[in-house]
Amino acid sequence: MHELSIAMGIVNIADAACKKANKSSVSKICLEIGRLSGVEIDALNFVWPAAVERSVLSNAEKEIEIIEGEALCLECSDTFQITNHYDACPSCGSYFKDIQKGGELKVKYIEAIN
C-alpha cells in the first residue's frame, strides 16, 4: 500500500512548511489528487490517522480535490475526458494522446496556526 508513504510525504511537506513559516501546527491542508495518479483515496483516508499522529497535521482538517482526467488527441487535436490511461479518443479512435490533467498529486495549500 503506497498510500502510507504518500501520506508520510505529505506530513514531511507540512512539517517543512511550518518550520519555514515559524508555525507549530496546521489547521487545514488541501490536496489535489488526479484520477489518473494511481492514488486510492479510500486507502489514503484509511492510513491518514496513523500517518499524521503526533505530527503538525494531527489536528488538521484534510480536504481532497479530485482532478478529472483530460487528454489532447495528437491525431485530431480534440480534447476529451479520460478515466484510464489507455482510453482512446472518442472522435477519431486514436490512442495517441497527451494527458493534460488527472495525474496531479500535490499539496494545494496549507493553513498553519501558532
DSSP H or E run through 18? helix 3-21
pTM for this structure?
A: 0.88
In a domain, 32, yes or no: yes
In a domain, 27, yes or no: yes
In a domain, 29, yes or no: yes
The pLDDT score that the predictor gives to residue 113 is 83
The pLDDT score that the predictor gives to residue 26 is 96
80-94 confidence digits (pLDDT tens): 999 999 999 999 999
Q: Judge whether residue 1 has pLDDT over 60.
A: no
In a domain, 57, yes or no: yes
Distance of alpha carbon 5 from alpha carbon 53, whole angstroms: 14
Q: Judge whether residue 60 has pLDDT over 90.
A: yes
Residue 22 neighbours by CB under 8 Å, 6+ apart: none
Q: Judge whether residue 28 has pLDDT over 60.
A: yes
The pLDDT score that the predictor gives to residue 43 is 97
Structural domain total, the chain: 1
Q: Domain range spanning residue 14? A: 3-68+102-113
Per the CB < 8 A criterion, the answer to whether 34 and 102 are in contact is yes
Mean pLDDT score across all residues of the chain: 96
In a domain, 43, yes or no: yes
The CATH code of the domain that includes 25 is: 3.30.2320.50
Mean pLDDT of 66-87: 97
89 burial class (0-12, 13-18, 19+ CB within 10 angstroms)? Answer: buried
